[in-house]
Amino acid sequence: MRHRLRRGGMVAGTASRAAPVPGLAAHMDRGFHRIATDAVVRRTRSLPRTVDTLDAAYLSRLMGRTVTSVSAIDVDAGTSSRARLTLAGEGVRESVFVKMVAVIAATR
C-alpha cells in the first residue's frame, strides 16, 4: 500500500486521527483542575452544593428576607442541577428557579 505524503511529510489521513489526542488531553486536564479547585473551594466556603441543601436559613441570608419554608417541586439534573422551589415567608416570591453546579463531578 502506498501512502501519499502531505506537505510537511505527514501521511495523508494520520493528522485527522492524531489531532484529537492533544485536544482530549487538554480537555481532561481542565476537568481535573476544575475538580481539584472545587474540592478546595468546598472546604473554604459554606455554599450549598445541591438543591436539597438549599434551606430556609440560607435563602433568607441570600435574599435578605425571612424565608420560613422551602419545597422543591421540580428537580432536574444534567450539565447543571436545576429546580423550581416554592417558598413561604414574608415578602418572598411564591416560587423561584435555581440553577447549580452538576451533582456529578465529571459533568462539571
Q: What is the pLDDT of residues 61-72, one digit of tens each?
A: 989 999 999 999
Q: Tell the residue number behind the cell numbers 472546604, with chain if given.
A: 43
Q: Where are the domains of the chain?
A: 1-45, 48-108
User: Which three cell numbers mark 87?
Assistant: 417558598
Q: What is the pLDDT of residues 25-61, one digit of tens each?
A: 887 888 777 777 767 766 655 677 788 888 999 999 9
**Cα separation of 23 and 6, whole Å?**
22
Round the average pLDDT of the chain to a whole number and report it. Answer: 78
